[in-house]
Amino acid sequence: MNRTLKRVRTLAAGIGLGLVGATVFASAAQACHVEIDWDVSCADDGGWTVAWHATNWTGDAEGIIDSVENNGTLTGDIVDGASLPTPGSGTLEGVQTLTSEDQQATLSITASWPTWNGGDTQTNDWSVPQPQGGCEPTEVPTTVEPSESPSPEVPEPSVAVGSWSDCAGMAVTAINESETLAEFTFVPSTGDEVSGTPEVGKEFTQYFSVESEEGLSVTVLVNGEEYETYQWDGGGNCEWGTVYDTCDGLKFELFVSADAPETTVTLTPSEGDAVEAVLTPGAEPQVFTFTASGDELTVVWKAEEADDDKHIYSGEIPWTKPGECEEEVPPTSEASTTPVAQLPTTGSSMTIMISAAAALVVAAAVLFFIARRRRAAADW
């Protein structure tokens, strides 16, 4: 008789909907974030300043700034513990002062929304370059003879770049802010690089999935020169359930935590009928098993949350028969009609780490949380 294997894999939302566009620049993104814009200007001493304006992304839940990191000097009311104003009710103001040696102004805000879907925390990062052409100290103008006139300089492009993380990966967005267009190249730590040259005011966005245990980083190049590197921060709440490779097929144990919305999950095997489960927050896991036909089995899954944003996720889980399964051998004599079970000679369990999944060890089986990716609303 076959025994249940101890090998578990993560149900990763590798084919989720609506990946592109969920960035710190997309005001319609449904994940909690800080809405921010800025003005850049030169100072008389040759330095420069960035005036930041921050608001909450929604009026439905209070946002609180947990921590602020920046280069240069930041003054004003963008500080730890500040409450984010709701849209249309004002902004938090902060002025960042930098020297002529600072090529970029960087600002990172970690904020939390205690009442949103049971609590959420996000970190958003922004990078803003010096004003186009740089800043010089104010001087009394002098008359320049025609023969001494300098050659006209080619203006530098003005750009803005940012990133946003979810449970399964990270989106990076770049914008050309001047008529001098720049080519952006995104170089992920794993996978292929992508390039694009958006028009003025248009976004160039790419989503990168986490493919290894080492996490994910993306380096942004502007016209071939390194501009900024962003690190995947793990996203938010990723707990959904577990899926096992057994000797017979796939076994799903599905649940949602007590602070999550009710979720409807549909599982469709490559052979056989689809099943649907309504997962009640905090309830006991619901178990579903699918038996492989020969060596082939794939289960396509779709989950829809019953919240105002109608988050939808999907993915596909292929079955791989574990090497630790017991094998049946023919009877050793005509008198015996019952197959003899042959125990495996090797039985070490294999674990596969995907996304930011946390490990839970129970009865010698290594369990991983299902990686759940936050997506923009279906009408975004």
Domain termination site, one of 191, 216, 231? 231
Do 202 and 249 fall into the same domain? no
Please count the structural domains in the chain.
Answer: 2
Q: How far apart are CA 265 and CA 254, in angstroms?
A: 9
Say what the pLDDT of residue 256 is.
85
Q: Is residue 170 part of a domain?
A: yes
- Same-domain pairing of 126 and 173: yes
Tell me, yes or no, whether 225 and 306 share the same domain: no
From 231, 252, 287, the end of a domain falls on 231
Dihedral angle computed from the Cα positions of residues 324, 330, 332 and 335, in that order, rounded to the nearest 10 degrees: 130
- Domain match, 220 and 265 both: no
DSSP letters for 47-96: -EEEEEEEEES-SSS--EEEEEEESSEEEES--TTPBPPPTTS--EEEEE
Same domain, yes or no: 284 and 221: no
Task: Report yes or no on 278 lying in a domain.
Answer: yes
- Reading the block at residue 108, the tokens are 């990172």
Amino acid occupying residue 142: T
Provide the residue-wise pLDDT of the chain in tens; the chain has 380 residues.
333 332 333 343 333 333 333 333 333 345 788 989 888 889 888 888 999 999 988 888 899 999 999 998 999 999 999 999 988 888 999 999 999 888 889 999 999 988 887 788 888 899 899 887 778 887 655 655 655 566 666 678 899 999 988 767 888 999 998 888 999 999 999 889 999 999 998 999 998 988 877 889 999 999 999 999 999 887 655 566 788 889 999 999 998 888 778 888 999 999 889 999 999 988 999 999 999 988 889 999 888 877 665 667 777 889 988 887 866 555 554 443 333 333 332 222 222 222 222 222 222 222 333 443 333 333 33
Both 86 and 103 in one domain: the answer is yes
* Same domain for 84 and 223: yes
User: Are 91 and 172 in a shared domain?
Assistant: yes
* Structure-token pair, residue 19: 């990946």
263 plus 333 within the same structural domain = yes
In a domain, residue 86? The reply is yes
312 secondary structure, DSSP code: E
Report d(CA 340, CA 348) in Å as an integer. Answer: 22
Structural domain including 56 reads 34-138+156-231
- The confidence score (pLDDT) of residue 45 equals 84
pLDDT tens figures, 180-233:
899 999 999 988 999 999 999 899 999 898 887 788 999 999 999 999 999 988
245-274 burial, b at 16+ Cβ within 10 Å, e below that, comes to bbbbbbbbbbbbeeebbebebebbbeeeee
Same domain, 193 and 258: no
Verify that 330 and 242 share a domain, yes or no: yes
Q: Which of 231, 265, 289 is the last residue of a domain?
A: 231
- Does 169 share its domain with 284? no
CATH of the domain at 247: 2.60.40
pTM for the full predicted model: 0.40
d(CA 132, CA 147): 26
Q: Do the domain assignments include residue 85? A: yes
